[in-house]
Structure 1
Amino acid sequence: MTLVDLLGLLLPVFGSVVAGGLIGLEREWRGRAAGFRTHILVCLASALLMQAAMMQGDWAFEALPNENIVTDPTRMAHGVLTGIGFLCAGVIFRTGFSIHGLTTAASLWITSAIGILFGAGLYALGALGTAVTVLILVGLRLVSARLPTRSVIDAVVCWPRDAADVAEAVERVLNDMDGAARSDRFELVDEGRLVRRSWRLTVKGQADLKALADSLGGLPDVTAYALDPRDD
């Protein structure tokens, strides 16, 4: 590999680092586990692997005599996008009945795709993909912030098994907040001493969420509760 070849690698490497950084910066600002550095590494790795596939003529192997070697870089792209699925699965997790991390997983997947574009030399398409991705992550977040806030939350409430009429009191509080609150799970925990039930309901904002927390905390027989907003 000559110096000219190395200089030719600067643009895909630099482009992939910038693209991954721009996308990861939004996830870092949102406090997600896969943030700035993770997105840069995903994009850079994709670009480097794609560049390696594009330069198979420089690989250290000897072809058989009188054999014509035909390379297919798209196989590397397929392998990268398949492999990134394992990393994306690692950022998706479940809390109660809520699934978190889908947006971060999608951003990792498209970051890998953008890295492949830079590695294949499709710089304009990679830059366009980066701009549209950042616009979706940042711009649509600003748009949604101006819309009337409605959050779906999972509410988990515990009370002693022998306490009377607690279920009705809890359901009354939840229905006052959202008449369509739906019960999801019934459990006995703490060796059968406590009842734990889960509901899914919608609140209009932080004020309603705090009011709900105060109302549940004010019930004398409630021993514990958790209100988990669903947010990617």
Structure 2
Amino acid sequence: MKYCVQKEGANMVESELFSTILRLTLALAAGGLVGLERSFHGRPAGFREHTLVCISACMLMLLADYHVLRAAAAGHSDAFLDPTRMAQGIMTGIGFLGAGAIVKEGFAIRGLTTAASIWMIAAIGIMIGMGYYVAAGAATFATFNINYVFRLIEGRMNLESYAHFHVRFARGEAPSERDLRVILADCGCEPSGISYGLVGEGRWFEYQSLIKTLGKENLNKLADRLSANPYVIEFGIAPRGD
């Protein structure tokens, strides 16, 4: 009887060890795959960050999962242990990490996709840690395709682009708002709410607006048009990032 108990305990330890190594390996593969795509595109959170997040989420869920099993094996069946609380804590903490990947560069906001990717890879790590391999595999495949394949699709689509626009002319040489709208229209750009006024202690006349266009090449066309205008003192076109 004693031999049977020892053998059963050894089998349980061996099974737990195999399951732990398998889950951590899958978490390494999932985080590495998604992270490589982010690193390839020069994002602030790439291969190492995604891999660490996925493995750490997996380890914490292994802790919660095996804690429940060990408590049941020890005869504490009346104890209430909820592994989902660990998942809630993980996702809350990852939210702060994702927020650090979001940066504002002028009028552009970048890092939203990377932040969402970090949040997603944490969820994948949680699923691997709990042993939901099919769901984790499907989520990894979907995340990789969303980050990589969808980027290629977006590159072929004629999407609306927005940019913050300002241009300065010498005082007394600025075109009228109607003439400026004609210049923008010729370049395929549509302004929204043009504002204007004197700047630089009254030396320059400045127009500001949020412009919309189909195709970012129109912004290059507008820049060339303004560069060739001898009355333009200064201009800026700042595309809005995502």
Q: Is the pair's TM-score, using the shorter chain for normalization, greater than 0.5?
A: yes
Question: How big is each residue's C-alpha offset from its partner over 1:27-55, in whole Å with a ceiling of 9 and x where there is no partner?
Answer: 22222212222211211111111112223
Q: For 1:46 and 1:187, how far apart are their aligned partners in 2?
A: 54
Tell me which amino acid in the other structure corresponds to 1:129.
A
Aligned mate of 1:223, from 227, 230, 233 = 233
Q: For 2:127 and 2:93, how far apart are their aligned partners in 1?
A: 16
Q: For 1:41 and 1:187, how far apart are their aligned partners in 2?
A: 52
Tell me the CA shift for residue 113 of structure 1. Answer: 0.4
1:170–1:216 contact (8 Å) kept in structure 2: no
2:189–2:211 contact (8 Å) kept in structure 1: no
Tell me the CA shift for residue 205 of structure 1. Answer: 4.0
Q: For 2:170 and 2:17, how far apart are their aligned partners in 1?
A: 70
Are 1:21 and 2:41 counterparts?
no
Q: Which residue of 2 aligns with 1:37?
A: 48
Q: Which residue of 1 aligns with 2:8?
A: none
Q: For 1:166 and 1:128, how far apart are their aligned partners in 2?
A: 57
Tell me the CA shift for residue 77 of structure 1. Answer: 0.3
Q: Which residue of 2 aligns with 1:154?
A: 163
Q: Which residue of 1 aligns with 2:84?
A: 74
Q: Alpha carbons of 1:226 and 1:44: their partners in 2 closer, same or farther (altered >3 Å)? A: farther
Aligned mate of 1:214, from 200, 224, 227 = 224
Q: For 2:186 and 2:133, how far apart are their aligned partners in 1?
A: 55
Question: How big is each residue's C-alpha offset from its partner over 1:109-144, in whole Å with a ceiling of 9 and x where there is no partner?
Answer: 111100101111112211111011112222222333
Aligned mate of 1:106, from 113, 116, 120 = 116
2:191–2:209 contact (8 Å) kept in structure 1: no
Tell me the CA shift for residue 161 of structure 1. Answer: 7.2
Q: For 2:38 and 2:63, how far apart are their aligned partners in 1?
A: 29
Q: For 1:223 and 1:51, how far apart are their aligned partners in 2?
A: 63
Supply the RMSD in Å over aligned alpha carbons: 3.3
More off after superposition, 187-196 vs 84-93: 187-196
Aligned mate of 2:154, from 123, 144, 152 = 144
3-state SS, counterpart of residue 92 of structure 2? helix
Q: Which runs of 5+ in 1 are unaligned?
A: 60-65
3-state SS, counterpart of residue 171 of structure 2? coil
Q: For 2:134 and 2:221, how far apart are their aligned partners in 1?
A: 50
Tell me which amino acid in the other structure corresponds to 2:184.
L
Are 1:132 and 2:118 counterparts?
no
Q: Which residue of 2 aligns with 1:8?
A: 19
1:93–1:101 contact (8 Å) kept in structure 2: yes
Greater CA radius of gyration, 1 or 2?
2
Q: What is the percent sequence identity of the aligned residues?
A: 38
1:166–1:221 contact (8 Å) kept in structure 2: no
Q: For 2:81 and 2:147, how far apart are their aligned partners in 1?
A: 36
1:153–1:227 contact (8 Å) kept in structure 2: no
Are 1:50 and 2:100 counterparts?
no
Tell me the CA shift for residue 191 of structure 1. Answer: 6.8
Q: Which residue of 2 aligns with 1:201?
A: 212
Q: For 1:183 and 1:138, how far apart are their aligned partners in 2?
A: 36
> TM-score normalized by structure 2?
0.76
> TM-score normalized by structure 1?
0.79
Q: Which residue of 2 aligns with 1:62?
A: none
3-state SS, counterpart of residue 213 of structure 2? strand
